[in-house]
Chains A and B, each alone.
Chain A
Amino acid sequence: MNNTVKSTKGAEKIEINSIRWFRIISQFELQSMVWPGLIFLFVFAYIPMYGILIAFKDYDMFLGVTGSPWVGFDHFVEFFFDPNFFRVMRNTLAINGLNLIIGFPAPIIFALLLNEISTMKFKRFVQTISYLPHFVSWVVFGGLILTILSPSNGILNYLLMQLGLISEPINFIGDANNFWYILVSGEVLKGLGWGAIIYIAAISGVDQEMYEAATIDGAGRLQKMWYVTLPSIMGTVVIMLIFAISAILNTGFEQILVLQNPLNLDTSETIDTYVYKTGIQQMRYSYSTAVGVAKSIVAVLLLLSANYFSKKITNQGLF
């Protein structure tokens, strides 16, 4: 009895599977476009992925990833129970929160405004200029920010003094309260033009007939921007937003380290700078990997929920 049940179940399974396979094969042409990508990822992403295991081990490169001794969640514990954990997490969230509020919409608005320039030459010129800072390294760019804000010869203090707004120069970068705003302003300025490229591309893809139709309906420029352009690039905006939300624990460390000093450490230390100093620079590969894994898990969860809500609200999402 049992055997027959089992075998019929097995047969059903095979049958279902073969139907599935048949469906996939039936669209051979379409599948053949996708599969090279899947194989590529298998080779270049999935095969090396066993390296993540060192997050749970005390990695010894001679023993190799598989041969190193297991330590379980020790590295995770070190990170989560670090006395600085709360501070570092707060700063990370604050900086990326500000980035989401200011840094995320800025390139979109810039792209929309740029699209409204009617002189083609001026438009091209502005666009070219706007992405220049992307190529200026953070060491140089950060150095300029520091010079502008300098209490002894910075232009900002000079202007404020001339205007009579302050009586003594302020050491802006030496005040922990200012750090988040200084950093985010710098990042916005540096990434504005570069970040806008993707939206500019999206805007150029908008069907011109829609504008013509809107003009016939008597829409003004702002109305066209609001009712035609923006909805047309919404798909791109949503995708970028979902990714920005899922990356909320990533700040990068280069730009922060340039602007960091002992007086603003309370607000300038983020997960990435902290792990850079205590893990990567110290060649502690297991610990660095463990923090990376923890961050990635959070990122995946955020991505899934952001995608879920986006589908509910805007009917658009990644998948």
Chain B
Amino acid sequence: MSVKSRGEMVFSIFNTVVMLIIMFLTVAPFWFSLVGSLNEGLDYMRGGVYFWPREFTWGNYIAVYSDPSIYSAYFVTAARTILGTVLHVLFTALVAYGISRPNLKGKSVYMIYIMLTMFFAGGLVPTYLLYRDLGLLDNFLVFIIPSMFSVWDLMILLSFFRSIPESIIESAKIDGAGEYRIFLRFIIPLAMPALAAISLFNGVGHWNSYFDSLMFTTSESLQTIQLFLMRVVTDATFAQGMGAQAAQLVPQQAKKISPETLKLAMMIATTAPILLIYPFLQRFFVKGIMIGSIKG
């Protein structure tokens, strides 16, 4: 670090203050949710629980985790997230690389063909019929195959691939490398930050998805975690809707958990794994890549 000028000092201080404010504003909602999820449901309804639980309980988490089918839901969701994300990123990146090459023939036609699909979708019924014909209904692959490719991610990757200096690709070609080799050997390592970002978007999408599980599967064993938790919460809402009746039938339960606190616990339960994985992805973002080092 060289000696900083006065202006740079001011900027550094300003920047740190801005970051601290943003940190406070962004951590607060999450913290309040965490606190709420650890508070007794009935007590939470009285309001004012923000910084620390007033009536501490694990009840909401016990309710979330007490049903044994949550574990199969976690497993299915983890499997689809890992498998789905890896295939998605590789496939989309491969197509994106092909499209990004300036010498690709038919490029403009391809682009229009690709872009149109972003705006016009056939809706649920035709999709359902298609999946039925492809044998994807109630099949684990319905989580993987239809989401293997996304035009949105393709567009983002295009912008990254275009910023890769043409000279790298040219020199590789002179060395006799084919397109696939260039893609694997140079493009993937160079576009690592972008691929990491897309993996994160896609992985979170997989992790949080429930629509395909709801619509295209019927087996309980193919229930995703979000769908499972949604059902736990609605169940509690119904119990509460019966009001005094539920209170009478299940006195303890009604006191410890409420739909609100249960929702919060569920949110934390699904978010926590993502938070744990994030630091591993993060190193791809913060490390600047020396293009020179790749060449060697």
Q: Do chains A and B touch in the complex (CB under 8 A)?
A: yes
Q: Are A133 and B30 in contact, with the CB atoms below 8 A? A: yes
Q: Are B23 and A130 in contact, with the CB atoms below 8 A? A: yes
Q: Are B122 and A50 in contact, with the CB atoms below 8 A? A: yes
Indicate if A299 sits at the interface (CB-CB under 8 A).
Answer: yes
24 A-B Cβ contacts within 8 A?
A31-B105, A38-B110, A40-B148, A47-B130, A49-B126, A50-B126, A51-B123, A124-B282, A126-B19, A127-B282, A135-B270, A135-B271, A136-B33, A140-B33, A144-B29, A198-B156, A201-B194, A205-B193, A209-B291, A235-B163, A239-B158, A293-B120, A318-B111, A319-B112
Indicate if A34 sits at the interface (CB-CB under 8 A).
Answer: yes
Residues of B within 8 A of A136 (CB): 29-30, 33, 267
* Docked pose: A243 CA to B151 CA in angstroms: 12
Q: Which of A41, A47, A221, A318 is close to B11, meaning CB atoms less than 8 Å apart?
A: A221
* Docked pose: A303 CA to B120 CA in angstroms: 14
Residues of A within 8 A of B129 (CB): 48
Q: Are A41 and B117 in contact, with the CB atoms below 8 A? A: yes
Residues of B within 8 A of A40 (CB): 91, 148-149
Residues of A within 8 A of B160 (CB): 201-202, 205, 235-236
Q: Are B30 and A48 in contact, with the CB atoms below 8 A? A: no
Indicate if B121 sits at the interface (CB-CB under 8 A).
Answer: yes
Q: Quote the shortest CB–CB distance from A33 to chain B (angstroms).
A: 3
Q: Are B121 and A124 in contact, with the CB atoms below 8 A? A: no
Q: Quote the shortest CB–CB distance from B195 to chain A (angstroms).
A: 9
Indicate if B103 sits at the interface (CB-CB under 8 A).
Answer: yes
- Chain A contact surface mostly: helix
Residue of A29, A50, A238, A303 most packed against chain B (CB within 10 A): A29
* Docked pose: A137 CA to B148 CA in angstroms: 26
* Docked pose: A173 CA to B116 CA in angstroms: 39
* Docked pose: A319 CA to B25 CA in angstroms: 38
Q: Quote the shortest CB–CB distance from A230 to chain B (angstroms).
A: 13
Q: Are A201 and B288 in contact, with the CB atoms below 8 A? A: no
Indicate if B227 sits at the interface (CB-CB under 8 A).
Answer: no
Q: Are B95 and A33 in contact, with the CB atoms below 8 A? A: yes
Whether A52 touches B122, Cβ cut-off 8 Å, given contacts A30-B98, A198-B197, A209-B292, is: yes
Q: Which 8 A-B pairs have the closest CB atoms?
A: A51-B122, A48-B122, A33-B98, A37-B95, A48-B126, A45-B117, A34-B98, A51-B126
* Docked pose: A30 CA to B127 CA in angstroms: 30
Residues of A within 8 A of B7 (CB): 220, 222
* Docked pose: A129 CA to B278 CA in angstroms: 11
Q: Quote the shortest CB–CB distance from B211 to chain A (angstroms).
A: 14
Q: Which of B22, B27, B117, B149 is close to A192, meaning CB atoms less than 8 Å apart?
A: B22
**Among listed A95-103, A111-119, A268-276, interface-contacting one:** A111-119
Indicate if A36 sits at the interface (CB-CB under 8 A).
Answer: yes
Q: Quote the shortest CB–CB distance from B101 to chain A (angstroms).
A: 6
* Docked pose: A137 CA to B29 CA in angstroms: 10
Q: Are A239 and B126 in contact, with the CB atoms below 8 A? A: no
Q: Are B125 and A201 in contact, with the CB atoms below 8 A? A: no
Q: Are B286 and A124 in contact, with the CB atoms below 8 A? A: yes
Whether A29 touches B123, Cβ cut-off 8 Å, given contacts A132-B27, A140-B267, is: no
In this complex, what residue of B is CB-closest to A235? B159
Residues of B within 8 A of A120 (CB): 286
